Structure 1
Amino acid sequence: MHAATTRPSSRSPRLLTQAPHRLMFFIGASNLLLAMAWWAMWLVDARWQLFGLRQPTPYAGWLHAFVMQYQMLPSFIFGFLLTVFPRWMGLPEIERWRYLPVGLGLIGGQLATLAGAFGFGPGVVVGYWMTLAGWLAGVLTLGPLLLREPGTTWHARACFLGLSLGVLGLLAWGGFLLGEDPRLAFASIKLGTFGLLLPVYFCVAHRMFPFFAGNVVPGYVTWRPLWLLGAVLALCVAHLTLELLHAYALLWLADLPLLVLLLLALWKWWPRGQVPGLLQVVFLGLAWLPLAISLYAFQSIAYSLTGEFLLGRAPAHALFVGFFGSVLVAMVTRVTQGHSGRALVMPAVAWFTFVAIQFVAAMRIFAEVLPDGPAWQAAAGAGWLVAFAPWVARIGRIYLSPRTDGKPG
């Protein structure tokens, strides 16, 4: 009977609507491959002119940043938050009709945006409005929970603050599409990084990572002071403000104290002794965060001395590919295993993806300083696809299948 529930014949797209994480993670996994397939093609074409792609409007690099920050990664973020917000607050689970529009907006928005990147005229604008609609559906679902909860869940409020800054970034992108003011595109990209993604990622890490370790590591001491969360978020906003003001020579004023706090958190949270693989990858992914911030700090100090960005986009890709990418694999694998009735272990496919993404991150970082950087960038884009494709195939099948333990969800 148990085996019958996991046969391929029992898979159905209808199962995607049974829980927020099923729908949103399936969409996120699809968006992940679609977004990088286009970007890898673009990088290959920019270097070797193999496909004859034309420069899209907006500029391809800005479009890449928008897709990754406001469509691909938020698909996973909303899937996680729509699942955990009610649990954190002791409220009923979110109804299906509330999260379906979120998923439809994000998958439809990205498909239309990528069609625009390939030359379909209205695609980028249509994709923007669909994405904004999906975002508003998510924010207007999560926001009222903060008013209904019996207590005060600071992690939920901090995550919601990040989502609110994400909405502001989306509005800035819309203003750019309407008026073609590049300053709004710049603001949108920076808000996506240090207003939305980094605060939400760190907030989830602050709440969940010590909890994960405390459950499986004997003698582990959980350390989650709220002052740390508040200080890190404040320094993220300080970095964001300096970037918006183009005060690159002063970014180190925010980045150095942020680096100190992140190293402290990594030291206090790091589990000692025998650690299961599924927990190990969480903290290995987290280790990319202080490394990325140290690169930002070095870049700022070097700029103040030389007037040049010596590392180019290396700090951003240490953050995006190294930290966001690694923790994405670790967290989505954990949620997928647990919420599908499977054992909390790190599958071989997930190990392949996690290890491969470390090499991809290093390749993309060093592409900024190696000869023929565009070739290395294209190789990193292709490497991302190779790394993630088997993992996406595995979790996609899981979301289309019933739980192995027969439970709902």
Structure 2
Amino acid sequence: MNRAAPVAPPPSPMRLLAAPHRLLFFVGASNVLLAMAWWAAWLAAPHLGAAFPQPATPAGWLHAFVMQYQMLPSFIFGFLLTTFPRWMGLPDIDRWRYAPVGIGLFGGQVATLLGALGWDVGLTVGLWMTVAGWAAGLATLAPLLWREAGATWHARSCFAALTLGAIGLAGWLAFVLGLASPSWAFASIKLGTFGLLLPVYLTVAHRMFPFFAANAVPGYRAWRPLWLLAIAWPLLLAHLALELVHAYAWTWLADLPLLALTTAMLWRWWPRGDKPALLTVLFAGFAWLPVAFALYAAQSLWMAATGEFALGRAPAHALFVGFFGSLLVAMVTRVTQGHSGRPLAMPKVATYAFVAINVVAVLRIAAELAPDPMRWHALVAAGWLVALGPWIARIARIYLSPRADGKPG
């Protein structure tokens, strides 16, 4: 008699509470679709002759805030709430500590976008929910820093970036509540890029990428001296300071050393010989960082020579879409495969997402030089949905399902 194959349990939202990355990555995946659907619709409406609500806050600034303080931090907190205890040899974090982070960041973004669509109070409600989620995350991670026996500098670097992010969030809050001038919103956006996201991405890459390569490529020697981070931090803060005072003609003073530093890191880290695709995409995504700094430096030097801001937002979007976007796909896929009991291999849908988001990045950079850039901006925003939609559907189902190997977590 043939036995019937076991029936897999149906997806359940309750499984999101089984591990920090499950909840926060699910929130982040949902936030990607919501954030880019609104932005694509807002950009496309004028070209389609359609009326679309205009938020009380400038839409471009609101887009930057949502992406830097709600969408990407959902993934960042999911990763750090999982890895901090493991880096430090401490017990895993209880669900009652990380659940408020996910609720705050998801509810905060939903309310914010409802505010952008006409429910004006949603902008304030969403901001307070986001602040609550951030506060819960910081309050959970901070005690781990003084409970560990030694000093995990990668954890301290990430926490310093999250603290700067909290300062940027406070600046945005002051602006939205009418307590500060628009310059505070501008500073918040710049702080989100060079004080929060870049330091976190660089720190995680420094900690994890050589480690992953050493585990997958025979004979690979991990190279990750801490002086790389010690040099990167002041250079990033120098670029930030120059942008805050609108000294764009002088950012090359930080951009050229950052170009040299990140190129050296990519060269030393890149594994020679055969390597799995899941590892290759990490370094291919990292390659966008020296490209971004090359564009920043070129922009700055050209402005110093001619006074023209010739490349517009092209350097920023090489960073946002190319570096942040492609590494989001690469790193989240890696963590999802490993923590769901699946093989450490690159699924086809993830390969599609990675290639597609790189195409989107190239198009967004080229859009700055197009005769009708706003039309291209709308197409590129929709491109995020086309590129990441199938991948998000897959990983979301994984977070709602039991581990493939039957283990807890």
Q: Which residue of 1 aligns with 2:379?
A: 379
Deviation at 1:228, TM superposition (A): 0.6
Judged with a 3 Å threshold, the aligned counterparts in structure 2 of structure 1 residues 401 and 310 are, in CA distance, closer, same or farther, namely same
- The one-character-per-residue Cα deviations of 1:352-381 (angstroms, maximum 9, x if unpaired) are 100001110001110000111111111101
Q: Which residue of 2 aligns with 1:150?
A: 149
Q: Which residue of 2 aligns with 1:27?
A: 27
Check conservation: 1:2, 1:405, Cα contact below 8 A. no
- The one-character-per-residue Cα deviations of 1:52-85 (angstroms, maximum 9, x if unpaired) are 1132110000000000000000000000000000
Q: Which residue of 2 aligns with 1:353?
A: 353
Deviation at 1:45, TM superposition (A): 1.2
Q: Which amino acid aligns with 1:320?
A: F
Deviation at 1:121, TM superposition (A): 1.3
Q: Which residue of 2 aligns with 1:288?
A: 288
Q: Which residue of 2 aligns with 1:137?
A: 136
Partner Cα separation in structure 1 for residue 96 and residue 391 of structure 2: 29
Check conservation: 1:207, 1:224, Cα contact below 8 A. yes
Check conservation: 1:113, 1:128, Cα contact below 8 A. yes
Q: Which residue of 1 aligns with 2:251?
A: 251
- The one-character-per-residue Cα deviations of 1:82-109 (angstroms, maximum 9, x if unpaired) are 0000000000000010000000000000
Bigger CA drift: 359-368 or 305-314? Answer: 305-314
SS in 2 for 1:346: coil
Bigger CA drift: 9-18 or 362-371? Answer: 9-18
Deviation at 1:3, TM superposition (A): 6.7
Partner Cα separation in structure 2 for residue 4 and residue 190 of structure 1: 52
SS in 2 for 1:260: helix
Q: Which residue of 1 aligns with 2:228?
A: 228
Partner Cα separation in structure 2 for residue 258 and residue 359 of structure 1: 24
SS in 2 for 1:10: coil
Q: Which residue of 2 aligns with 1:364?
A: 364
Q: Which amino acid aligns with 1:189?
A: I
SS in 2 for 1:141: helix
What are the ranges of 5 or more consecutive residues in structure 2 without an aligned counterpart?
none
Check conservation: 1:209, 1:282, Cα contact below 8 A. yes
Bigger CA drift: 58-67 or 225-234? Answer: 225-234
Q: Which amino acid aligns with 2:146?
A: L
Q: Which residue of 1 aligns with 2:46?
A: 46
Q: Which amino acid aligns with 2:40?
A: A
Deviation at 1:218, TM superposition (A): 1.1
Partner Cα separation in structure 2 for residue 75 and residue 96 of structure 1: 16
Partner Cα separation in structure 1 for residue 189 and residue 354 of structure 2: 26
Q: Which residue of 1 aligns with 2:172?
A: 173
TM-score (norm 1): 0.98
Q: Which residue of 2 aligns with 1:119?
A: 118
Partner Cα separation in structure 1 for residue 143 and residue 293 of structure 2: 34
Q: Which residue of 1 aligns with 2:209?
A: 209
- For residues 254-403 of structure 1, the aligned pairs below 5 Å read 254-403=254-403
Partner Cα separation in structure 2 for residue 187 and residue 47 of structure 1: 31
Deviation at 1:303, TM superposition (A): 1.2
Partner Cα separation in structure 2 for residue 210 and residue 23 of structure 1: 27
TM-score (norm 2): 0.98
Partner Cα separation in structure 2 for residue 209 and residue 46 of structure 1: 43
Q: Which amino acid aligns with 1:378?
A: A
Q: Does 1:104 align with 2:103?
A: yes
- The one-character-per-residue Cα deviations of 1:108-162 (angstroms, maximum 9, x if unpaired) are 0000000011011101111000000000000110011000000000000000000
Partner Cα separation in structure 1 for residue 65 and residue 20 of structure 2: 23
Deviation at 1:394, TM superposition (A): 0.1
Q: Which amino acid aligns with 2:11?
A: R
SS in 1 for 2:85: helix
Give the CA RMSD over aligned residues: 1.2
Deviation at 1:305, TM superposition (A): 1.4
Q: Which amino acid aligns with 1:259?
A: L
SS in 1 for 2:177: helix
Q: Which amino acid aligns with 2:21?
A: H
Q: Does 1:68 align with 2:61?
A: no
Partner Cα separation in structure 2 for residue 160 and residue 37 of structure 1: 31
Judged with a 3 Å threshold, the aligned counterparts in structure 2 of structure 1 residues 338 and 46 are, in CA distance, closer, same or farther, namely same
Partner Cα separation in structure 2 for residue 145 and residue 206 of structure 1: 21
Q: Which residue of 1 aligns with 2:58?
A: 59
Q: Which amino acid aligns with 1:362?
A: V
Partner Cα separation in structure 1 for residue 233 and residue 6 of structure 2: 47
Q: Which residue of 2 aligns with 1:91?
A: 90
- The one-character-per-residue Cα deviations of 1:16-65 (angstroms, maximum 9, x if unpaired) are 00000000000000000000000000111133333x11321100000000
What are the ranges of 5 or more consecutive residues in structure 1 without an aligned counterpart?
none
Deviation at 1:4, TM superposition (A): 3.7
Partner Cα separation in structure 1 for residue 93 and residue 188 of structure 2: 29
Q: Which amino acid aligns with 1:58?
A: T
Partner Cα separation in structure 2 for residue 224 and residue 3 of structure 1: 47
SS in 2 for 1:309: coil
Aligned length: 406
Partner Cα separation in structure 2 for residue 196 and residue 314 of structure 1: 20
Partner Cα separation in structure 2 for residue 155 and residue 63 of structure 1: 30
Partner Cα separation in structure 1 for residue 229 and residue 389 of structure 2: 34
Check conservation: 1:2, 1:404, Cα contact below 8 A. no
- The one-character-per-residue Cα deviations of 1:300-338 (angstroms, maximum 9, x if unpaired) are 111111222101111111000000000000000000000
Partner Cα separation in structure 2 for residue 303 and residue 127 of structure 1: 38
